[in-house]
């Protein structure tokens, strides 16, 4: 819930934000870079910043490759599409 509130606050302030998980092989370098004590077990981090003005728009081909929502949305049970 705290991560969600940070993400929403960043957007409200006109920033971009992204939560990402920390892979086990990157945990120790992450701890060292940000001085995370050993008694804490970080599972993710949030990046916050300004969007690049010259970022290219998303490709329309991405939308063409997407499967229909009914094929990928599961309601209640794995593999049970509605």
pLDDT at 79 > cutoff 60 = no
Boundaries of domain holding 49: 2-53
State the pLDDT at residue 60.
74
Count of structural domains within the chain: 1
Q: Which residue has the higher pLDDT, 2 or 78?
A: 2
What distances in angstroms separate CA 60 from CA 41, 66, 76, one per listed residue? Answer: 40, 11, 31
Does the pTM surpass 0.85? The reply is no
Q: Could you tell me what percent of the chain has a pLDDT over 70?
A: 80
Comparing 72 with 20, the larger pLDDT belongs to 20
Q: Is residue 37 part of a domain?
A: yes
Instruction: Give me the DSSP letters along 24-59.
Output: HHHHHHHHHHHT--TT----EEEEEEPPPTTPPPPP
Query: Does 74 fall in a domain?
Result: no
**pLDDT reported for residue 21:** 95
Model pLDDT for residues 37-65, shown as the tens digit of each residue:
999 999 999 999 887 776 666 677 766 77
């Amino acid at each position: 819930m705290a991560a969600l509130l940070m993400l929403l606050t960043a957007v409200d302030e006109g920033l971009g934000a992204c939560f990402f998980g920390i892979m086990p092989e990157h945990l120790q370098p992450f701890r060292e870079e940000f001085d995370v004590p050993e008694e804490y077990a970080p599972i993710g981090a949030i990046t916050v910043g300004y969007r690049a003005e010259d970022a290219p728009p998303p490709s329309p081909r991405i939308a063409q490759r997407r499967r229909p929502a009914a094929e990928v949305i599961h309601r209640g049970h794995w593999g049970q599409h509605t």
